[in-house]
Amino acid sequence: MHSRGPDSATAAHLTSSWARLLMHTLWDAGVEHFVVSPGSRSTPFTWALMQLTRQPDGPSAQIVLDERSAGFVALGVARASGKPAALLCTSGSAAANYFPAVVEARAAGLPLLLVTSDRPTELGQCGAPQTLDQLKLYGDQAVGFFELGQAESDLRAWRGLRRIALQAYATSIGPIPGPVQLNVRARKPLEPEPDGPLKSFVDSLVGPHPQNLIRTEVSISEVAAEHLAQRLKQAKRGAIVCGPLSPSQAAPRELLQRISKASGWPLWCEATSNAESGDAVTRFDTWLRDEAARRELTPDVILQLGPAPTSGSLLRVLDQFEIERHVICPFGYQDPANRAASVQRADLGPSLRRLLTRLETAPAAELYCERLMRVEAACGAALVEVLEACDGESQLSEASAFDAVLQNLPEAATLSVGNSLAVREVDWFRRHRLPGRVLSQRGLNGIDGNVSGAFGARLAGAAGPHLLLLGDLSFLHDLGGLGAALRATQPLVVCVINNAGGRIFEMLPLASEVDAAALEPWTTPHRANLEHAAGIHGIAYFQANTRSEIKASLDACLNRNAAAVVEVRVADQSSISAQRALWRRASERISAAL
C-alpha cells in the first residue's frame, strides 16, 4: 500500500510521476518498442521511458531525430510484428511531421500510438512558443484520439490516466486497426523528480495489462461463409487472389493451401502477399497482358484476400471484365474497381477456416489449373530468355540486377520492397524463390519512409538478415532514415537500384510522345552521390555494377550486424526495355502453351 497520494506531491513530483505512470502503462499494455524524437516539452515522458528501458526485459527506445522518419520506424515495427510501437515527440510542428506515417498506417490497417507532448491547457492559442492546437491533429486519419491533460493531484485523474492509456493501445489494435493519438500535457517544471513520495503510489497502480482490452478476431459470419461457398461452388474458373498484406495480416500459408485444395482454385500471389507457396500462380501480371491468355484464362469468380493486388494488368481486367469478385480484408473497403460482389472486413484466418468446411472442388478446376500452369511456365521460359539477352549487354540491366539480388537472398531473410518499379519488378523479373517474409508499404504506395520502415521492421522482425530493395529517388527521399538505420545491430542491407531517377514514369503514355528531356519533371534525373549519403552517417557503402559484384557485396553485408548501403548502378532505361522484351517473348510462347 502506498502511504501518500498525489495530493501530497510537489509540482515536479507530480509531473514526473504522472509521466512514469503513463509510460509504464503503455508498456504494461504491450508496447515493446518506443521511438522518441528529442524535445523539451516531452522531457518528463522521455525520462520516465529511459528509466523503464533499464528494467530487466524493459521496452526498447530508439531515438530518431526527425519525426517524419520516426513515424515510419514505428510503422515498420507494426508491419513486422503486428503490434503497435509508441511514438513520443515534443509539441508543435514535431507532431505534424508524423502525418505521412499516420496516413500510411491508416491505409495499411497498421496500429500506431502517437504520444504527442503538449503545453498545459492555459498556454493554448495565446502565442506561447512551439504551441499548436494538437487536438485531433490527424483528423479522420486517426482511428482514435485521447486527450490526457496534465498531471492532477486528484486520485481519480490517475486512474483515468491508466484507463486512457490502455484504451488508446486497445483502440490502435482494432476493430479498425490504425493510428491513435494520445495528447499528453506537461506543466513546468519539466525536470525529472520521480523518486519522491509518489514512487510507491505509482507502483501500486501499475501491473499486467487487463486481458479484456485486447482485440478479438473478427470473422465473416456463418451466413456469409455459407453464401460465399455456394457462389464459389458454382464457378467454372475460380481464383484466390492474394494482394499485399504484412505477415501478421496474411492468412497462414498452410490454411491457404487447404482452401486451394478443397476448392480446386489456384492461389494467385504477388510477391508482397506473404501467401505464396509452391504451386502458386505468380506471373499473372505478365500473361494478362496477352490478349489470348486474357480471353482464355480470366477467372469468372475471384476471392480477393487483402487489398487489390498491385498488378496493373489485373486491375485492368477487373475493370473491364464481368468477374464476380468477393473481397475479405482485415481493414478498409478494398474495391478500387468499384464492382465487387461482396466486401467483408474480417481477419483472414478465422474467415477462411469458416469457409473451408463448406468447399468442394469444381469439376472443371483441374483442366483450368493445368492450362494456367502451362502459361506460367511459358512466361518463366520467356523471362529466362530475356535475362540471358540482358546479360549479353554491356551495362547491367535492371532486370538482371533484380534477378541477381533475389538469387543471393537466403530463405531466412526478410525482403522489404520499395514502391515504384521495385514492387513490380520483383514479380516481373523473379525466377528465384522469395525469402520467407516480404514487407511492403502499399497502403498509399508512397516512396517516403522506406529506409526508416525497414529499420523499424528490423528492430521488431524475425531473426535473419533484412534487405530493402528500392529505387534511388525513394532512397533520397528518406535520407533521415539512414540516421536511424545506423543503430541497426543486425544485418540491414539497403540495396538501391540506381537508374538515375524515377524510371517508372517511362511507362506513362506521355513517355512515348515526348523525348527524355521533356519527361524530366517526372523522372527527375539527379547526380546525387549515394556513397556520400551513406558516409554522412558513417554507414558502410558498397557499389555493384555487375552480377558478380552484387553477389560479392551481398555476401559481405548479409552477415554484418549493422546497416550497409549497396548501390547497384544499372543502365538508365533498362527496365522499360526489359519489360517490352518480356511482354513480347511471353506472348510468343503463350500462344504455343494455351
Ligand X SMILES: Cc1ncc(C[n+]2csc(CCOP(=O)(O)OP(=O)(O)O)c2C)c(N)n1
Indicate the Cα dihedral angle 10, 11, 16, 20, nearest 10°. 80
Min separation Cβ 421 and ligand X, Å: 3
Cβ-based nearer residue to ligand X, 169 or 505: 505
- Taking residue 580's Cβ as centre, other Cβ atoms within 10 Å add up to 11
Give the 3-state secondary structure of 24-74: HHHHHHCCCEEEECCCCCCHHHHHHHHHHHCCCCCCEEEECCCHHHHHHHH
What's the count of helices (H) and strands (E) in the chain, helices before strands? 23, 17
Residue 257 or 445: the one with the smaller Cβ distance to ligand X is 445
Whichever of 448 and 567 has its CB closer to ligand X, that residue is 448
Decide if 484 contacts 73 (C-beta within 8 A).
yes
Q: Distance between CA 321 and CA 310 in Å, rounded?
A: 18
Please tell me the distance from the alpha carbon of residue 256 to that of residue 273, in angstroms, as a whole number.
12
- Least CB distance from residue 505 to ligand X, whole Å? 7
How far apart are CB 15 and ligand X at their closest, in Å? 38
Cell of 92: 508543435
Q: What's the rounded Cα separation, in Å, for the pair 459 and 384?
A: 36
Closer CB to ligand X, 134 or 499, in the complex: 499
Of residues 462 and 476, the one with the C-beta less far from ligand X: 476
Q: Which is nearer to ligand X, 162 or 503 (CB)?
A: 503
Cell of 439: 514487407
CB of 198 to ligand X, least distance (A): 45
CA distance 178 to 171: 8
Q: Are 236 and 371 in contact (CB under 8 A)?
A: no
Q: Which is nearer to ligand X, 376 or 425 (CB)?
A: 425
**Contact (CB, 8 A) for 567 and 544:** yes
Residue closer to ligand X (CB basis): 426 or 504: 504
Q: Grid coordinates standing for 415?
A: 525482403
Q: Is there a contact between 423 and 454 (Cβ–Cβ < 8 Å)?
A: no
Q: How far is the CB of 328 from ligand X (least distance, A)?
A: 27
Least Å distance, CB 546 to ligand X, is 20
Q: Nearest to ligand X by Cβ — which residue?
A: 471
Q: How far is the CB of 422 from ligand X (least distance, A)?
A: 6
Q: How far is the CB of 545 from ligand X (least distance, A)?
A: 17
Cβ(22)–Cβ(48) below 8 Å: yes
Q: Which residues bind ligand X (CB under 6 A)?
A: 419-422, 445-448, 471-474, 499, 502-504
